[in-house]
Amino acid sequence: MPATLLDSNVFKDIFTTAEMRHVFSDEYRVSCYLEIEAALARVQGRMGIIPQEAADEIIRKCKVENIDFAKLKTATERIGYPILGVVQQIVALCDKGLGEWCHWGATTQDITDTANIMMIRAGLDLIEADMEKIAAALADLAKRHRDTAMAGRSNLQQAVPLTFGFKCACLLAAFQRHRERLKQLRPRVLAGEFAGAAGNLSSLGTQGLAVQDELMKELKLAQPEIAWHTVRDRIGETGCFLGLVTSTCGKISMDVKLLMQTEVAEVYEPFHEGRGSSSTMPQKRNPIASLYIHANAAVVRQNVASLLEAAVADHERSTGPWEIEWIVLPEIFLLAAGCLRQTRDMLTGLEVDAKRMRANLDLTNGAVVSEAVMMGLGPYLGRQRAHDLVYDICRVSATENKPLVDLLAQDKEISKHVSRAELEKMCDPAQYLGLAGEMVDRVLKAEAAAKHA
């Protein structure tokens, strides 16, 4: 019976995805073990290290459908690791005792770590696919809303105007950096492990490195420069990367939640009948995807800390830290996949209310552009005097609920330098968007270049 949300028949497709569950399933993991054992036999048969007849027989029997998972469970509980249980079943299946050549010169951690790298490779492919869809959704929003004015917010207060396209382009730029990180990460991380008991390949004599090289070619993995049984930066880097990616998704979810507040109402998650409804308040349209994104991203970060704890390993084979990876690495990938999928689906259907954005800019009677007024008056009054004067007038505007431009125009110190028309231009939020549009264009240009690279 499923016991966690990641395998719950009710929740599993909310918190993760079927594709990522497959990558970290028992069946896929064992299929990776078998692929490695078959590749090892193929290489060693070719090199004359084991009889070719044995290599052919081992390869024939290394099929996941040949594995009795109930027996494997029992063997794993008895031994403590699944690899020997798998090898024992293959040995028993092979004719004429040829299975005794299986796993020749390897050790349990070689097969386990290399299988983990293969699962990481498959998992990163799924992560990348959703990253690209998120980037495409952000690029579309940035382009469509390049000039859609809205309030920028600082400490949850309106600060200065910017555009919704600018907000989306900032997030798109982060995903562009994540894309580059992933590109740089793969050559470092996707290296297999085949090093024997203590890492020096002593069991294969002078042929050890040649076997290692050929094995990695068979598996389409990089050959490690030296054993990494207890030097776990490859795994840690993978976790940190997913922590960064999901944190960006968490940032997106945070902003969407805040922008969905009744008093703000500038964007909404995609509408589906009944989604986000309350059991007692019929008017409610709660954020839903944002909640799951936030939760998943938070747990990923906590699991990354545990993954880094696994890097503090003892000597050449660790006593405990390694098993931490077994627990948290799959969870990190599963939660990251759910986080990215929810983000992708939310952004592709995001509802943007440009009119409400403009209306909210007008809530402060013009105070949102007080910086523009201060900078406009600075050449005449000096920056500090302009700041203090505008500050005082903003307080009056707020307490008396009067338009800022009217109070500015009535001030004698201001009116002798600038006209009412000039003040109205200063107080128009659409006239104080800075270089938001140009910055959006730069990010979109980079995205187009990346797509055609």
Same domain flag for 261 and 323: yes
Same domain flag for 136 and 281: yes
- How far apart are alpha carbons 42 and 92 in whole angstroms? 19
Which pLDDT does position 281 carry in this prediction?
73
- How far apart are alpha carbons 224 and 216 in whole angstroms? 9
Question: Does residue 205 belong to any structural domain of this protein?
Answer: yes
Count the neighbouring beta carbons within 10 Å of the beta carbon of residue 136: 17
Which pLDDT does position 273 carry in this prediction?
74
Same domain flag for 237 and 377: no
Which pLDDT does position 451 carry in this prediction?
85
- How far apart are alpha carbons 341 and 348 in whole angstroms? 11
pTM score, whole prediction: 0.94
Domain count, the chain: 2
Question: Does residue 331 belong to any structural domain of this protein?
Answer: yes
CATH code, domain with 297: 1.20.200.10
Question: Does residue 433 belong to any structural domain of this protein?
Answer: no
Same domain flag for 109 and 71: yes
Question: Does residue 336 belong to any structural domain of this protein?
Answer: yes
Which pLDDT does position 276 carry in this prediction?
61
Question: Does residue 7 belong to any structural domain of this protein?
Answer: no
Which pLDDT does position 383 carry in this prediction?
93
Q: Which of the residues are catalytic?
A: 278, 317
Same domain flag for 110 and 175: yes
Same domain flag for 344 and 227: yes
Range of the domain at 157: 13-351
Question: Taking a C-beta distance cutoff of 8 angstroms, is the pair 352, 360 a contact?
Answer: no
| Region of residue 50 (phi > 0: left; psi between -120 and 50: alpha; otherwise: beta) | beta
Question: Does residue 436 belong to any structural domain of this protein?
Answer: no
Question: Does residue 446 belong to any structural domain of this protein?
Answer: no
Spans of the chain below 50 pLDDT: none
